[in-house]
Amino acid sequence: MSSVVDQVKIALEVLAVAFVIYKMLVLARGTRTLELFVLLVGILALELLSRERYLDLPTFRWILDRFWIVILLIVVILYQDDIRRSIGRSKWLDFLVKGRAITPSRTLEELIKAARALSAKRIGALIAIEREGTLEPYMAESGIRIEAQVSKELLFALFLPAYENPTHDGAVIVGKDRILSAGCILPLSNRTDLESWVGTRHRAAIGLSERVDAVAVVVSEETGRISVAIGGELKAGLSPDELRQFLTSELGQPAEQSLLERFRAAAGGSRDKG
C-alpha cells in the first residue's frame, strides 16, 4: 500500500513541476525572460549533475555555493524589464479582479466616433484596450495618468499632432470604461514578415497584442486607415461599421463581476432582506 502512495506522490510532484514550468514558459513567451529561464534551468541542471559521482565539479559547486545570491541579483537587474512584463501578463488572481474590460455601452461608441474623426483628419492614433491581461506595467513605465471618462473629444485632443502636446506620439490605454493613461510607450514587434506600409504605431500595436491579451486600435497618419491588432495579428482597412462589429464581438460582453463585487452584492442583498 505504501508503494502505491509513494507512486501517487511522485506522479503529483511531476505534474506540479511540469505545470509550473509550462506556466513560466507561457509568461516568458515573446520576451527575453525565456532566455533567462533557459539560463537558470541550465545552471540548475549543472549544479545537480556536479553533485553526482560521475560528474564531479567542485570548483563550479564552490562558486555557486558562495555567489548564488550575487548571480541572482545580477540576473534580476539585467532582465528586470522583461521580468516585470512577464509578471504583468500573469492571470493569477484574475477571479478577484475581473471586469477591467470595457462594456457594451457609450464607451464603445465613443471609441468608434474618435477613430472615425481621427481617420477623417488623418491624425495618427494608437488606442490599447485592456481585456483579461492588465496593461499596468506599460502605464507604470511611461505615459501620463488620466483616469477620465472615455469621450471622442478627449481622445481626439490626446492625439493632436502639436509640439506642445506630450501625448500625441504615444498610446492611450483604456480599461473598464476609463481612459487610464496617455503617451504610453508600447513594445514593438520583431516580426520580419510585415508589409512595408506597417509603421511604428502598427508595430507597437502588434507587439503589445503578442505579449498581452489586449486589443489595439490604430489610425494611420499617412492614409487614415483604421486597423486593429489582436493576438499578434493585424486586421487592416476597417470601416467604422466594421470596427464597431469587431469591437462588439471582442469586447462587447458584459464584464464579469469579480469575487469581491459578488460578495458585496450578496452582503447588500442580505441587509435588504433584514
CATH architecture designation of domain 106-251? 3-Layer(aba) Sandwich (3.40)
User: Per-domain residue ranges for the chain?
Assistant: 2-90, 106-251
Per-residue pLDDT at 226: 95
Q: Which of 177, 94, 89, 161 is nearest to 129 (CA)?
A: 177
pTM equals 0.59
Q: Name the residue among 168, 173, 181 with its Cα closest to residue 123.
A: 168
Neighbouring CB atoms inside 10 A of 194's CB total: 14
Q: How far apart are CA 20 and CA 29, in angstroms?
A: 14
Cell 473598464 locates to 176
Q: How many angstroms separate the CA atoms of 89 and 98, rounded?
A: 14
Low-confidence ranges of the chain (pLDDT < 50): 91-101, 253-265, 268-274
How far is Cα 99 from Cα 62, in angstroms, rounded to an integer? 50
User: What are φ and ψ of residue 99, in 5° steps?
Assistant: 100, 20
Separation between Cα atoms, residue 36 and residue 50, nearest integer Å = 21
* Number of CB atoms found within 10 A of residue 100's CB: 22
Q: Which residue type sits at 272?
A: D
88 Cβ contact list (under 8 Å, min separation 6): 133, 134, 135, 136, 137, 138, 212
Radius of gyration of the chain (CA): 24
pLDDT (tens digit per residue) in 35-74: 666 777 777 777 777 666 556 677 767 777 777 777 777 7
Cα separation, 71 vs 80, whole angstroms: 14
Q: Given this model, what pLDDT does residue 96 score?
A: 43
